[in-house]
């Protein structure tokens, strides 16, 4: 009897070990595959960007006078064929090849000195489609960075909620957690989020942790368009009340925002959130 129990336990532990080993190996293989895939996409972007086309970004540690007028420049667009409809679509040159590869792409997000340098996807008719799908639409634990389906990237909506996983290998939105320290924000205040047709820079206003559930008193991720000034101001004040520190950056009704959201593990259903406002002018 004792030998039977011993053999059974050994068999159980062996199965657990093998399954755990398989899952760990699968994770590392997926990690390597996704890193390589996104690096290739970033290289395509860089090779297609025309020198001098991108607006000069502000120095990370230099305050920006957002009230100062800037000289808008008309972006150079190229025509590409939509792979699904066959229609011709105008996009920035750096997006041309990527759009043909996957027309769910709506932009590219990057933050200096971090691993955040990714295409941004959106599927308005399919909730969380890219939660566990790579750019090739195949299953991946890493998923893609993607915009909440109700948001309009191109109008644009008053706020674009952008999701990304917090991956243990340091990829996707993992580096957002570096903004827990104000010293990091002071040196990395700006986010570049370019759409298919426009280049834009955003300045970070608020950084906070929050529980994500419909019982939460502040449903930050559901704010898309302000019904009026009071609605917009309420969102800003709620963000301010949760903020980990004061950045001194504020927003006015009419400003365009992005809200970056990733997992946060100090609470159940925790989220780490970074809210920024657009500071570059429309072309």
Helices and strands of the chain, counted as H and E runs = 4, 10
Q: Which fold has domain 43-70+105-278?
A: Sortase; Chain: A; (2.40.260)
**Per-residue pLDDT at 238 exceeds 70:** yes
What are the pLDDT digits (tens) for 21-58? 534 445 555 677 888 999 999 998 888 765 545 555 67
Q: Taking a C-beta distance cutoff of 8 angstroms, is the pair 91, 80 a contact?
A: yes
Q: Give pLDDT, residue 14.
A: 52
User: How far is it, in rounded angstroms, from Cα 278 to Cα 155?
Assistant: 14
Q: What are the φ/ψ torsions at residue 101 (nearest 5 degrees)?
A: -70, -40
**Token duo for residue 8:** 């059974």
Q: Give pLDDT, residue 283.
A: 38
**Per-residue pLDDT at 157 exceeds 70:** yes
Q: Taking a C-beta distance cutoff of 8 angstroms, is the pair 43, 183 a contact?
A: no
**Percentage of residues in the chain having pLDDT higher than 90:** 67
Q: Give pLDDT, residue 84.
A: 83
Residue of 163, 150, 274, 145 lying closest to 209 (CA atoms): 274
- For residues 184-204, give the mean pLDDT: 97
Would you kindly state where each structural domain of the chain is located, as residue ranges? 43-70+105-278
In the chain, beta strands by DSSP E: 78-81, 88-91, 105-110, 117-121, 145-147, 159-163, 190-195, 201-211, 257-263, 270-278
Q: Give pLDDT, residue 20.
A: 47
CA distances from 144 to 55, 58, 106, 211, 248 (A): 26, 27, 12, 22, 32
pTM of the full predicted structure? Answer: 0.83
Q: Taking a C-beta distance cutoff of 8 angstroms, is the pair 223, 259 a contact?
A: yes
Asked which of 20-24, 76-80, 96-100 is least confident by mean pLDDT, the reply is 20-24
Q: Give pLDDT, residue 31.
A: 74
What are the pLDDT digits (tens) for 225-235? 999 999 999 99
Of residues 35 and 179, which shows the higher confidence score?
179
Q: What is the mean pLDDT of the chain?
A: 86
């Amino acid at each position: 009897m004792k030998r039977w129990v011993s053999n059974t336990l050994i068999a159980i532990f062996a199965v657990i070990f093998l399954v755990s080993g398989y899952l760990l190996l699968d994770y590392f293989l997926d990690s390597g595959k996704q890193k390589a895939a996104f690096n290739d996409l970033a290289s395509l972007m860089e090779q297609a960007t025309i020198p001098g086309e991108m607006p000069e970004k502000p120095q990370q540690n230099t305050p920006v006078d957002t009230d100062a007028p800037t000289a808008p420049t008309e972006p150079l667009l190229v025509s590409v064929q939509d792979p699904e409809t066959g229609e011709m679509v105008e996009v920035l040159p750096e997006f041309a090849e990527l759009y043909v590869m996957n027309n769910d792409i709506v932009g590219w997000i990057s933050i200096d000195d971090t691993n955040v340098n990714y295409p941004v996807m959106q599927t308005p008719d399919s909730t969380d489609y890219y939660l566990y799908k790579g750019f090739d639409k195949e299953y991946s634990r890493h998923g893609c960075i993607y915009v909440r389906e109700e948001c309009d990237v191109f109008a644009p909506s008053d706020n674009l909620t952008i999701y990304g996983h917090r991956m243990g290998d340091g990829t996707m939105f993992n580096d957002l957690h570096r903004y827990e320290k104000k010293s990091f924000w002071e040196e990395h205040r700006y986010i570049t989020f370019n759409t298919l047709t426009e280049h834009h820079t955003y300045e970070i206003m608020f950084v906070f942790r929050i529980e994500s559930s419909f019982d939460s008193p502040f449903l930050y991720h559901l704010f898309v368009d302000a019904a009026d000034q009071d609605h917009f101001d309420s969102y800003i004040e709620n963000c301010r009340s949760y903020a980990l520190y004061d950045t001194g950056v504020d927003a006015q009704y009419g400003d365009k925002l992005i809200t970056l959201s990733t997992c946060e593990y100090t609470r159940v259903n925790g989220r780490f959130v970074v809210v920024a406002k657009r500071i570059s002018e429309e072309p």
